[in-house]
């Protein structure tokens, strides 16, 4: 009886995961339990997942501003707010799953909030370096790091979502640019300007993902054509076996790694090296993973076509 009582809260939290395979250790043991408590709190207040996303975005934007100051105490306050922002970023999705309010609009607002947070971080770190006497080249360095960050984050999110689509049973979580473009054309700027703007941002994000991973796009299209949205068990298992071990490397390109490195460099008083960390080691890992994943997708696409022909 005691084991059941102990296990029940954990199982309730686990039910709000996207899938255990895509969760990192810091997520499982810190952010998800905290996010679950926050989700229950916001559910009682009738706050929507989008509202939680925007609140997290506000915390993160303020955190980025606090990184501008060359004062460790102020920077630590920014770190605390940044952790709060990340906890809320976890809580919005958990709230959506807990209250069955998952939607495309919620995913878009969550993505926009994430981009605003790191835009604030990059802008304020660059201003900090510039005011400290850095060369004007710091702007180019920061821009290169920011673009790298955007591409890495887009790819990591795409491959994680693809894993859920092929091996995690989440068949509706992955969108195609063609379907989004069709929906976008149906909306009127005059009548639904906000919805059209959000969809335009999401369409741009999804198009970037598909450009980065053309073979994965072809695999999705082939599987959808052949299996009509129902992934067979053999393909699910093959995808899990081929892609599962790479998830831990993709997680290094997600928010938690960047935050830990940024916090360390702020403690050391050398935030400029955050840009170099983004440009060199993370980009090398990014290229390696893209090549590996695209080869895997090409192989599975060929297998789907061969099995269909047979």
The pLDDT score that the predictor gives to residue 168 is 73
pLDDT higher than 60, residue 1: no
Q: Read off the pLDDT of each residue in 156-172 and give the average, rounded to a whole number.
A: 82
Per-residue pLDDT tens over the stretch 187-212:
999 889 988 998 999 999 999 999 99
153 pLDDT band, cuts 50/70/90, is very high
CA distances from 200 to 105, 138, 147, 209, 222 (A): 12, 31, 19, 14, 26
Q: Read off the pLDDT of each residue in 133-154 and give the average, rounded to a whole number.
A: 95
Helix ranges (H only) for 228-280 are 233-243, 247-250, 255-268, 272-279
More confident residue, 265 or 174: 265
3 pLDDT band, cuts 50/70/90, is very low
Q: Read off the pLDDT of each residue in 169-192 and give the average, rounded to a whole number.
A: 83
Side-chain half-sphere CA neighbours of 243 within 13 A: 33
pLDDT higher than 90, residue 12: no
Per-residue pLDDT tens over the stretch 222-259:
988 888 878 889 999 999 999 988 998 999 999 999 99
More confident residue, 154 or 23: 154
Q: CA-to-CA distance for 184 and 43, rounded, in angstroms?
A: 31
Per-residue pLDDT tens over the stretch 72-91:
999 999 999 999 999 999 99
Helix ranges (H only) for the chain are 2-14, 25-26, 32-44, 49-66, 72-98, 104-131, 137-167, 177-186, 193-212, 214-227, 233-243, 247-250, 255-268, 272-279, 281-309
């Amino acid at each position: 009886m005691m084991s059941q009582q102990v296990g029940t809260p954990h199982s309730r939290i686990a039910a709000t995961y996207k899938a255990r395979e895509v969760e990192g250790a810091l997520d499982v043991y810190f952010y998800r339990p905290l996010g679950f408590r926050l989700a229950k709190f916001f559910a009682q207040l009738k706050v929507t997942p989008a509202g939680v996303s925007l609140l997290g975005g506000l915390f993160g934007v303020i955190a980025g501003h606090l990184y501008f100051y060359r004062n460790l105490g102020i920077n630590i306050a920014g770190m605390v707010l940044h952790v709060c922002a990340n906890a809320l970023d976890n809580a919005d999705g958990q709230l959506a799953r807990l209250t069955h309010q998952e939607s495309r609009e919620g995913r878009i607002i969550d993505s926009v909030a994430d981009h605003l947070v790191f835009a604030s971080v990059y802008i304020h770190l660059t201003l900090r370096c510039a005011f400290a006497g850095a060369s004007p080249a710091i702007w180019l360095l920061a821009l290169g790091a920011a673009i790298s960050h955007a591409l890495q984050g887009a790819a990591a999110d795409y491959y994680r979502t693809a894993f859920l689509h092929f091996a995690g049973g989440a068949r509706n979580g992955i969108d195609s640019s063609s379907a989004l473009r069709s929906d976008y054309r149906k909306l009127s700027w005059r009548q639904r300007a906000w919805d059209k703007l959000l969809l335009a941002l999401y369409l741009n994000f999804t198009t970037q993902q598909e450009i980065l991973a053309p073979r994965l796009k072809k695999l999705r299209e082939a599987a959808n054509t052949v299996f009509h949205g129902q992934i067979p068990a053999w393909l699910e298992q093959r995808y899990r076996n081929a892609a599962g071990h790479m998830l831990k490397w993709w997680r290094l390109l997600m928010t938690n790694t960047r935050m830990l490195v940024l916090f360390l460099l702020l403690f050391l008083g050398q935030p400029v090296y955050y840009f170099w960390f983004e440009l060199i080691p993370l980009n090398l890992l990014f290229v390696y993973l893209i090549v590996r994943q695209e080869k895997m997708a090409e192989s599975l696409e060929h297998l789907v076509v061969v099995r269909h022909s047979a």
